[in-house]
Amino acid sequence: MRPSSSGCEARAGGLFDGVLARGSTAAAVTDSAWLQALLDAEAALARAAARAGRIPGEHADAIAAACRAEAFDAGTLGAQAAASGNPVVPLVRALTAAVPGAAAGSVHVGATSQDILDTGAMLVVARSLQALLGDLRGAAEAAAGLARQHRDTLLPARTLLQQALPTTFGLKAAGWLVALDEAAARLEALRRTTLAVQLGGAAGTLASLGADGTQVLRFFADELGMAEPVLPWHTNRTRVVEVAGGLGLAGAALAKVARDVVLLSQTEVGEVREGGGQGRGGSSTLPHKRNPVAAVSAAACAGQVPGLVAALLWSAGNQEHERGAGTWQAEWRPLTGLLAAVGSAAAWVRDCLEHLDVDAARMRANLDLVGELLLAEHVTATLTPALGRLAAHDLVAQACATAVSGERSLAAALGDLDGVTAHLDAHRISALLDPAGYLGSAHAFVDRALAAHQAAGGPPGNGAGR
């Protein structure tokens, strides 16, 4: 794909952009970026037509030379678009006026407005994904580092927000890692295989190009380095649906990480804290606060994703005949917003995980809040072969009730029951109530996640301190 000459400069900065337009993806979906993508499509179309012998080569060169976003005003074109229903019509007029001599008559040859806008949209998606994937992979690499470093760091697993069993922070980070890697793989596959040019002319037949239509289409795709579709896809919006789905998947993975960090950062939990320097996470009224601003901002960005995906799915499924009447136009803002939201969430999660402070001592202290009771399942599982599951469960439940009442520790309560001591001595009971001894396949799962990450292109290294 030929690089654009403009269109990815930093945003001027809106009131909410510091939170909701984080990272380089936001710059790839600005009006200027869109405008350059449309012009890149026009330039590629001219070169393709020249290769097919439809226009002189010097005409194509003159058109391509004029296709610079800085030479046009997006706001003016947007205002003029009200007369025709899309911004390509006024853009073609302005571009034609900017091309000197006879070459001006070769602008937009064979195309309709939707061809240029759809192809431009695919260019915007491709360029946005390149930026987004950088942050998504950076977040995954930060998660991999946490998984390696904290492979053995104990903390309570929580189900329905209640302590359930012991686990490791390494396994929690490995869960983030796998989800982020899977999301990145999906988006990379979309970038490589799904994005295609659009060229069908007024009604999807390329009638104005005569017998050269499919040849121009092939050259057009080649010029832009994108796929050549089997047919024009003016009202077959499966590509848009796939892009929406891939971005939705990434948004969900990022939202999960953000939500976990917010919960782990609660004062009463205090197992992680965001770094990032002095002044980070401050409050307008409470000087003592250290809010998890990166995780909160990532959650805010990801929170927009479901609605934007739904908007794209609705428009894609309601296309009329050979050209959508409002449904195609309904895609433009949601697609732009979706790219910006997911890209911003990825940038925030990367920032969050790269600067995350982990408090292993607090994790262990929280694990000890429930103490031995957290290992009751371990005792039940050990007694089950001898007593049967229900009998073992009832015995351990009886001991747990005693421990919860505060009369005895769970170890002591278990030692008071003949049905338990017939099979377990005090030393064995104590060992069963050690949280480090009831982690199942946690370490193996961390290693599997790190190995999969390495196979996907991450750096080598399994297991911390091994």
pTM score: 0.90
Q: 404, 432 in Cβ contact below 8 A?
A: no
3-state secondary structure of 417: coil
| CA 303, 306, 312, 314 torsion-angle sign | negative
Which residue type, as a one-letter code, is found at position 113?
A: S
Q: How many Å apart are CA 314 and CA 8, to the nearest integer?
A: 29
117-118-123 Cα angle (round to 5)? 95
- Cα–Cα distances (Å) from 75 to 80, 90, 193, 252, 441, in that order, read 9, 11, 33, 34, 58
For residue 201, give the 3-state DSSP assignment. coil
Residues annotated as part of the active site: 283, 323
Q: How many CA atoms lie within 13 A of 175 on its CB side?
A: 13
Using DSSP, state whether 357 is helix, strand or coil.
Answer: strand
* C-alpha of 143 from chain center: 14
Q: Where are the alpha helices (DSSP H) in 194-316?
A: 213-224, 238-264, 293-303, 305-316
pLDDT tens for the chain, 466 residues: list them. 444 443 333 445 789 999 999 999 999 999 999 999 999 999 999 999 999 999 999 999 999 999 999 999 999 999 999 999 999 999 999 999 999 999 999 999 999 999 999 999 999 999 999 999 999 999 999 999 999 999 999 999 999 999 999 999 999 999 999 999 999 999 999 999 999 999 999 999 999 999 999 999 999 999 999 999 999 999 999 999 999 999 999 999 999 999 999 999 999 999 999 986 655 544 444 344 478 999 999 999 999 999 999 999 999 888 999 999 999 999 999 999 999 999 999 999 999 999 999 999 999 999 999 889 999 999 999 999 999 999 999 999 999 999 999 888 999 999 999 999 999 999 999 999 999 999 999 999 999 999 999 998 866 544 333 2
Asked if 156 contacts 370 with a C-beta cutoff of 8 angstroms, the reply is yes
The full set of domains in the chain, from first to last, is 17-358 (1.20.200.10), 365-433 (1.10.40.30)
Structure tokens at 2: 């030929």
Strand ranges in 4-110 using DSSP code E only, listed in sequence order: none
